[in-house]
Amino acid sequence: MNAVSQLHPDNHEAALRAWWMPFTHNRYFKSAPRLIESAKGCYFTLADGRRVFDCLSGLWCSPVGHSHPRIVEAVKRQLDTLDYAPSFQMGHEPAFRLATRIAALANRAEDRVFFTNSGSEAVDTALKIAVAYHRVRGEASRTRIIGRERGYHGVGMGGISVGGMVSNRKMFSSLMIPGVDHLPHTYNPAEMAFSRGQPAWGAHLADELERLVALHDASTIAAVIVEPMSGSGGVIVPPKGYLERLREICTKHGILLIFDEVITGFGRLGTPFGADFFGVRADLTTFAKAVNNATVPLGGVIARDDLYQSFMTGPAHMIEFFHGYTYSAHPLAVAAAHATMDVMADEKLIARAAELAPLLEQAIHSLRGEPHVIDIRNIGLAAAIELAPIAGQPGLRAIRVFEKALDDGFMLRFSGDVLAVAPPFVSTVAEVEAMVEGIRRALRAVPA
Ligand code: PXG
């Protein structure tokens, strides 16, 4: 009996009908459902009993492995003590302590942390802080936000407006926030295909920001938002010198720089944040995902202290920033984050990611020359393989490779014709190598 018939023995279709699944080909999925039953460490167990290696750490979010006993224990304990606490006009101590810890990990001990429940909410929060900051300082004309083509900043109205993925935008143009412009993306296969780490070409693309400033005038621009490394875009790695240049131009014109570190925060590049890896500081930093190993939804924004301070005017009994969520700093999410940060520190997992990174680079680039492969990119413990699309059927090649790999015990991530991997930090060398060999077999098994 397969998993669906277990769910609803008489009628598969009815069993799967109601859930309108996110970012999923619903009809294709429901015709051949792939159900997950449980997870432990680096492996998922599917409903038919097969164990598969988690090549993307969930959706980039579970780097310390699933159901880590210390995280499970911490959440259970929290549930017995305080299941929920309102965060409007009340607070619980672990949330304050977590904010302090996150700021310290980001090497920004003076700065402030605002909690949300997802990356999308973190992005919208950062955009609101940026625009409101200029207003409270008397520069209310600074409302424009500059995003980037191919960027992904979640699915809130703000996030899709500054994001640069056409499929996520085209249906919703009337819902987008006004006054947004975009930098060009930095991906140019003719110049950078098969680069290892940061491409040497492309720093000059940051100068496009000067062009946008000349067009709109700095006095209308609140912030620039970019992912230090575009994860969902298919591991698009910033060219050497590019982020430094963006930083310089923002500083020169009084524009805030927002790093969306929902993927790069908490160790993915082998450093606490992407900002540490690239040596470039942001004014606002979003995070989510790995902050608590995705055990309970949690996200947030780190804001430069003087941004926070600029809101602290007026009578002390007044709310300074009209924004927040029922579940901001949910006790279970906070408990999971403390335990995750404990595990990362005690098991030195960020250093472990840094150690595995060159091995992943070496292994993944050995796929050059395999069928369908037109580019391979990597940075930190993340990599992507770009496949030649099947003529007239974009996306289908990657689905085929994904299915072959899954049958062989490896759960990859695909988006369009790009395969992405970001293995858990707790993977062994042998597991990373086996993953790459699994991809090789899948590539060879898919017809030309
Ligand atoms: N910003 C960035 C940079 C992200 O990568 C979000 C915001 C939104 O986060 P939430 O928590 O609202 O989903 C993300 C999310 C993929 C993949 O396969 C990436 C994301 C989500 C799901 C899949 O690359 N990134």
Q: What is the residue extent of each domain of the chain?
A: 34-64+348-445, 71-346
Please say if the pLDDT value at position 98 is more than 50. Answer: yes
Distance CA(168)–CA(181), nearest Å, equals 16
Strand 144-148 relative to strand 221-226: parallel, antiparallel, unpaired?
parallel
Distance CA(339)–CA(103), nearest Å, equals 16
Please say if the pLDDT value at position 1 is more than 50. Answer: no
pLDDT of residue 239: 98
Ligand 1 midpoint to CA 232 (Å):
7
Cβ neighbors of 219 (< 8 A, separation 6 or more) are: 139, 141, 142
Please say if the pLDDT value at position 439 is more than 90. Answer: yes
Mean pLDDT computed over 416-423: 97
pLDDT of residue 6: 52
Ligand 1 midpoint to CA 154 (Å):
6
Half-sphere exposure of 209 (CA within 13 A, CB side): 32
Ligand 1 pocket mutation pick from 56, 60, 402 by most atoms within 8 angstroms of CB: 60
Ligand 1 midpoint to CA 260 (Å):
10
Please say if the pLDDT value at position 2 is more than 70. Answer: no
Cβ neighbors of 347 (< 8 A, separation 6 or more) are: 64, 426
Segment holding 383, helix H or strand E? strand 382-387
Q: Is the dihedral of CA 299, 302, 307, 309 positive or negative?
A: positive
Distance CA(443)–CA(367), nearest Å, equals 9
Residues 360-377: pLDDT tens digits?
999 999 999 999 999 999
CA-based nearest residue to 386, from 205, 191, 189: 189
Ligand 1 midpoint to CA 318 (Å):
34
Report the percent of the chain where pLDDT is more than 90: 96
**What DSSP string describes 28-39?**
HHHHS---EEEE
CB atoms within 10 A of CB 34: 14
Q: Please answer whether residues 176 and 160 qualify as being in contact, where contact means their C-beta atoms are separated by less than 8 angstroms.
A: yes
Please say if the pLDDT value at position 222 is more than 50. Answer: yes
Mean confidence (pLDDT) of the chain: 96
Ligand 1 midpoint to CA 336 (Å):
19
Cβ neighbors of 233 (< 8 A, separation 6 or more) are: 150, 151, 152, 164, 165, 185, 187, 227
Distance CA(436)–CA(448), nearest Å, equals 20
CB of 402 closer than 6 A to ligand 1?
no
Ligand 1, closest atom to CA 263? 5
Residues 158-209: pLDDT tens digits?
999 999 999 999 999 999 999 999 999 999 999 999 999 999 999 999 999 9
Least confident interval from 11-20, 286-295, 413-422: 11-20
pLDDT of residue 10: 53
Cβ neighbors of 420 (< 8 A, separation 6 or more) are: 56, 231, 234, 235, 382, 383, 384, 412, 413, 414
Strands (E), 79-178: 112-116, 144-148
The overall pTM is greater than 0.85: yes
Please say if the pLDDT value at position 5 is more than 80. Answer: no
Residue type, 305: D
- Dig out the tokens for 195 from the structure: 């680069």
Residues 131-142: pLDDT tens digits?
999 999 999 999
Mean pLDDT computed over 143-171: 97
CA-based nearest residue to 303, from 181, 149, 131: 131
Please say if the pLDDT value at position 11 is more than 70. Answer: no
Mean pLDDT computed over 426-442: 98
CB of 227 closer than 6 A to ligand 1?
yes
Mean pLDDT computed over 321-332: 98
Please say if the pLDDT value at position 8 is more than 90. Answer: no
Nearest Cα residue to atom 16 of ligand 1: 232
pLDDT of residue 210: 98
Q: Please answer whether residues 412 and 398 qualify as being in contact, where contact means their C-beta atoms are separated by less than 8 angstroms.
A: no
Mean pLDDT computed over 214-237: 98
CB of 152 closer than 6 A to ligand 1?
yes
Beta bridge partners of 181: 146
Ligand 1 midpoint to CA 228 (Å):
14
Ligand 1 midpoint to CA 262 (Å):
7
SS3 letters across 289-319 = HHHHCCCCCCEEEEECHHHHHHHCCCCCCCC
Ligand 1, closest atom to CA 227? 3
- Dig out the tokens for 322 from the structure: 């009209």
Segment holding 421, helix H or strand E? strand 418-421
Ligand 1 midpoint to CA 51 (Å):
25
Ligand 1 midpoint to CA 288 (Å):
9
pLDDT of residue 293: 98
**What DSSP string describes 183-217?**
EPP---HHHHTT--SS-SS-GGGGGHHHHHHHHH-
How many helices (H) does the chain have, and how many strands (E)? 18, 15
Ligand 1 pocket mutation pick from 157, 262, 285 by most atoms within 8 angstroms of CB: 262
Query: Which position has the token pair 């942001």?
Result: 282
Ligand 1 pocket mutation pick from 23, 24, 168, 232 by most atoms within 8 angstroms of CB: 232
Q: Please answer whether residues 376 and 360 qualify as being in contact, where contact means their C-beta atoms are separated by less than 8 angstroms.
A: no
CATH architecture of the region 71-346: 3-Layer(aba) Sandwich (3.40)
pLDDT of residue 149: 98
pLDDT-based confidence at residue 9 (cuts at 50, 70, 90): very low
Residues 230-284: pLDDT tens digits?
999 999 999 999 999 999 999 999 999 999 999 999 999 999 999 999 999 999 9
Mean pLDDT computed over 291-309: 98
Q: Which CATH number fits domain 34-64+348-445: 3.90.1150.10, 3.30.310.50, 3.40.720.10, 3.40.50.10420?
A: 3.90.1150.10
Residue type, 51: R
pLDDT-based confidence at residue 448 (cuts at 50, 70, 90): confident
CA-based nearest residue to 267, from 379, 351, 377, 358: 351
For 39, phi then psi, to 5°, come to -150, 145
Ligand 1 pocket mutation pick from 118, 152, 161, 286 by most atoms within 8 angstroms of CB: 152
CB atoms within 10 A of CB 300: 30
Residue 415, SS3? Answer: strand
Q: Please answer whether residues 100 and 334 qualify as being in contact, where contact means their C-beta atoms are separated by less than 8 angstroms.
A: no
**What DSSP string describes 209-255?**
HHHHHHHH-GGGEEEEEE-SSBSTTT-BPPPTTHHHHHHHHHHHHT-
Q: Please answer whether residues 59 and 413 qualify as being in contact, where contact means their C-beta atoms are separated by less than 8 angstroms.
A: yes
pLDDT of residue 64: 98
CB of 231 closer than 6 A to ligand 1?
yes
Query: Which position has the token pair 């006004």?
Result: 178
